[in-house]
Structure 1
Amino acid sequence: MNTALRSAMASAGLSPRRLAVRVGVTGKTVERRLADAELTPHARKREDACRALGVGEEMIWPQSVKDRVKTGHDREVVHSYPYRSACPSDVWGELTRGASRELFFAGYTNYFLWSQIPAFSETLRRKAGAGCRVRFLVGDPEGAVTRGRERAENVALSVSTRIRTTLEQLERMGPVDGLEVRFSDPEDAVYHVGLSVFRFDDDALVTPHLARLVGHDSPLLHLHRQEDSGMFDRFTEHAEELWERGSRVPA
């Protein structure tokens, strides 16, 4: 018997029939939940029941709460989005503004950041001036991999144009101590174009690029570092390896 549910119903003055009306189920369904503590309603019904009873879910169905707690490597996944464009712009802005040690933008083009993050150039300049390391790793707009990706995507705003947009935005900022820009090595470009890694101290936004889809149509993971050699470390180490083999962008 689910004694916690029965006690909460008694405290709220709700009979099985009245609770059923509040939640949108039958009275028999409530009776079954009362009779068997192992039976757990769907998440929406649990929320509605707890709201009607004025108690927390952990009081009535504690196992459902435990099941939602991430363990192991999964706990580094803060959120996942089926499309990069589904990630709210507030997330990008808050992560950028919150970083104090490391801002590393290792997307192949990075051009969208100026429209995604308000006052992006000014924020970068302020962060670099405060001692934060700011880096951009982009693909070579003249490279063979760039041309191949352009043929695959076949969109009006080409990959090379998007890269040049980023380079122009950075050039407009003028010399900024603490800001570094590199092209990925030609031999690494195929690995770079397929995976974008954006680091903000101990958080990262990662986009694996799918087939011919442009970046905003590919999925995105928000990771937060919790352990050594976890998902955060694996992806950021990939970006660091590309950076170490990259070359300075010609002035």
Structure 2
Amino acid sequence: MPNERLRAAMAARGWTHAGLAARVDVDPKSVERWVNLGRVPRRGTAFRVAEAIGEDVYALWPALRQARAARAVSPELVGLFEQRAELPVSAFADLFSQAVEHIDVLVYAAVFLHESYPRLNEVLRERAAEGCSVRIAVGDADSPNVRQRGEEERFGHGIEGRCRLAMEHYRPLLGVDRVELRIHGTTLYNSLYRADDQLLVNAHVWGTNAYRAPVWHLRRCDKGGLFDTYAESFDAVWRTATPMEGHAER
């Protein structure tokens, strides 16, 4: 969503995208994304912007207040959200649209992505066409682990149907260069949404639907850190998963 507070503050003080970009030493396209797409700049850059336009940095980007507290725990922890429902789907869409090298998704279904953002497949095609590797792993509806998860969440057979629906959402991407689709039957401790060195981790809580469970936003700093722990878990599940091409439509 656009950052109307930033737009108004710039307009009131006569700042153009190019002028502000030159003042804080960034590309004008970065300023355009801050204003029109609601992107949040790096903390140091944000403070220089706030100083330049005479605004409170937390009024411009409230998320930075949360990120500040998170960094006291881990340098890789950008933000912590009590529930996935707190994140607008644009947070996921923006994450993927910025990817250059890697997009990895590990879920059972997560049909909220396609339901709330119908352009998701188009974005994934665009990123793949630009050379980005896209790997999507969704749950096998016939897996005992998926059925067990449904019972734990009191979803009954609903989660199995949602896994099949997720397959149908992604099926148009079969055969697209640099896009791989697989089905897995593992116990899913976390849903993972990766774009290059950023990762959204939707932690799963026994008996609680994923949308009510917390999400932490990680940014990779060094090898062997928290980010890599989750990235390696994705790779481990990916090795056990089977290509979607081998699964018949139901």
Q: Which TM-score band applies after superposition, normalised by the shorter structure?
A: 0.5 to 0.7
- Counterpart-to-counterpart distance in 2, 1:153 and 1:111: 16
How far 1:155 moved relative to its partner?
A: 2.8
Aligned to 2:103: 103
1:215 alignment partner in structure 2? 210
Runs of 5+ consecutive residues of structure 1 not aligned to the other structure: 1-53, 58-64
1:203 paired with 2:193, answer no
SS at match of 1:75: coil
- Relative distance call for 1:116 and 1:167 in structure 2 (3 A) is same
RMSD: 2.5
Distance in 2 (CA, whole Å) between partners of 1:173 and 1:212 is: 32
Where does structure 2 lack aligned partners over 5 or more consecutive residues? Answer: 1-53, 58-64
Look up the match of 1:229: 224
Matches of 2:106 and 2:227, distance apart in 1: 14
Where do 4+ consecutive residues of structure 1 move more than 2 Å?
Answer: 54-57, 68-73, 115-118, 172-175
1:159 matched residue in structure 2: 159
Deviations 1:142-165 (A, max 9, x none): 111111111111237711111111
- What is the TM-score of this pair, normalised by structure 1? 0.66
SS in 2 for 1:204: strand
Length, aligned pairs only: 184
Deviations 1:1-60 (A, max 9, x none): xxxxxxxxxxxxxxxxxxxxxxxxxxxxxxxxxxxxxxxxxxxxxxxxxxxxx9989xxx
Matched, 1:121 2:121: yes
Sort the Cα spacing of 1:217 and 1:126 in 2 relative to 1 into closer, same or farther, 3 A.
same
SS, match of residue 109 in structure 1: coil
TM-score normalized with structure 2 length: 0.67
Partner residue, 2:130: 130
Q: Quick check: 112-121 or 130-139, which moved more?
A: 112-121
Larger radius of gyration: 1
Percent identical across equivalent pairs?
27
**Distance in 1 between residues matched to 2:116 and 2:207, nearest whole Å:** 22
CA distance in 1, matches of 2:132, 2:138: 20
